[in-house]
Amino acid sequence: MNKNILLCGVGGQGIVLASKLTASCAMEKGLQVMSAETIGMAQKGGSVFSFLRIGDCIYSPMFGQKQADIIIAFEPAEAVRMLPYLRDGGTVIVNTRPIMPVTAALKASDYNGTEMLDYLRKTTENLITVDGDSVCRELGSPKVLNMVMLGEAIRSGVLPFTTDDAAEAMKKSVKPQFVELNEKALRHNM
């Protein structure tokens, strides 16, 4: 049972931690994991994405177009940009809050994500939209978006582990004073 997972968004949204927790959960289940991340512009709000392959016989961290079982997108335009990687029948989980790219801001663009979300609704068979910002506001921290998105991905049934598995991995990765808040975000809407 191999799974190809693509996480994407912009710098500062917690994509790298979500990727590492996903890998950790799979390794705890005895599965092989390979990952590759692109984080060069992360500090400047640039594009960040992580390829994860989980399974029994994995030989490369990267996979080609039309091979992702799931795309976990923290930003709508990044979801659209990575859509060519989604396999037929694959799942896209997308945070509905857009983050205007620096280039669009410099051009005084009116990007608000609506066109991207409409495009995803028209072209994606299995689409789950998440109002991650509302959950973060409810919990009192914008820094738990990654846990909100990871929790939703687990509940979609595509990932080969449970919320309890992710909570245990998270407890090993975040500072003790942030464990409770992150666990609330992970389990939100359960």
Question: How many domains, in total, are found in the chain?
Answer: 1
Question: Over 80: is that where the pLDDT of 107 sits?
Answer: no
Task: Provide the pLDDT for residue 149.
Answer: 97
Task: Provide the pLDDT for residue 59.
Answer: 86
Task: Provide the pLDDT for residue 71.
Answer: 98
The model carries a pTM of 0.93
Going from the C-alpha of 29 to that of each of 23, 65, 77, the distances in angstroms are 10, 27, 33
Question: Over 70: is that where the pLDDT of 103 sits?
Answer: no
Give the mean pLDDT of 34-61. Answer: 81
Task: Provide the pLDDT for residue 110.
Answer: 74
Give the mean pLDDT of 20-43. Answer: 85
Task: Provide the pLDDT for residue 43.
Answer: 57
Q: Find, among 146, 126, 132, the residue nearest to 98 by Cα.
A: 132
pLDDT bucket at 46, cuts 50 / 70 / 90:
confident
Give the tens place of pLDDT for each residue, 25-36: 999 999 999 999
How many C-beta atoms surround the C-beta of residue 47 within 10 A? 20
In whole angstroms, give the CA distance from residue 126 to residue 146. Answer: 20
Residue 47 belongs to domain with CATH number: 3.40.920.10
In whole angstroms, give the CA distance from residue 134 to residue 124. Answer: 24
How many C-beta atoms surround the C-beta of residue 106 within 10 A? 9
| H or E element in which residue 95 lies | strand 86-95
Range of the domain at 35: 3-186
